[in-house]
């Protein structure tokens, strides 16, 4: 019985730490800054571990919106409305946190070597411009007072960027 409890504890700690490493949003995205972009949906990939939305801005710049996983969208009942709203050419506005630079990422992940796409955003709020659909992660939008910014600030010893 003790072995079973020990095995369960080790599994829980391992799973929690790998989940944190994968979903360490305040370390990967700069939740101390807010970015709002608006453009037309070019492509949507509903998949695991993250759904991706390609958004073409009016100036021609292509952005990637790094969104919720397929399973979470299904389980929350948000998949069908999202699939209907996020069609090719639909105009959407996204407010979220921009991805950090390679130098910033290496502060938390020293072995990280891939140059991130600077046009990547972790969304907090998305909406169709025609107001027919919207999605919001919670009431905390990016910025110095957001909870994830505070997590990052605490993690890095108070150094806001």
Is the pLDDT reported for residue 11 higher than 70?
A: no
Q: How far apart are CA 117 and CA 20, in angstroms?
A: 22
Q: How far apart are CA 64 and CA 53, in angstroms?
A: 6
pLDDT one-digit tens code per residue, 69-112:
999 999 999 999 999 999 999 999 999 999 999 999 998 889 98
Comparing 128 with 16, the larger pLDDT belongs to 128
Taking only Cα atoms into account, the Rg of the chain, rounded to an integer number of angstroms, comes to 18
Is the pLDDT reported for residue 137 higher than 80?
A: yes
Comparing 27 with 155, the larger pLDDT belongs to 27
Q: CB burial class (10 A; 0-12, 13-18, 19+) of residue 77?
A: exposed
What would the CATH number be for the domain defined by 27-155?
2.40.50.140
Is the pLDDT reported for residue 30 higher than 60?
A: yes
Reported pTM: 0.80
CA distances from 97 to 29, 114, 125, 139 (A): 6, 19, 10, 14
Q: How far apart are CA 44 and CA 128, in angstroms?
A: 14
Indicate the domain borders of the chain: 27-155
């Amino acid at each position: 019985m003790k072995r079973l409890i020990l095995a369960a504890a080790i599994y829980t700690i391992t799973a929690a730490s790998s989940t944190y490493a994968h979903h360490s949003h305040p370390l990967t995205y700069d939740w101390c800054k807010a970015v709002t972009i608006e453009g037309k949906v070019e492509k949507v990939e509903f998949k695991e571990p993250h759904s991706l939305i390609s958004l073409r801005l009016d100036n021609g710049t292509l952005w990637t919106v790094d969104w919720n996983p397929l399973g979470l969208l299904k389980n929350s009942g948000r998949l069908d409305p999202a699939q209907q709203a996020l069609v090719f050419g639909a105009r959407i506005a996204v407010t979220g946190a921009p991805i950090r630079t390679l130098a910033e990422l290496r502060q938390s992940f020293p072995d990280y070597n891939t140059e991130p796409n600077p046009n990547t955003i972790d969304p907090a709020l998305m909406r169709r411009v025609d107001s027919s659909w919207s999605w919001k992660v919670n009431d905390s939008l990016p910025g110095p007072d957001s909870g994830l910014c505070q997590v990052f600030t605490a993690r890095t010893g108070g150094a806001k960027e």
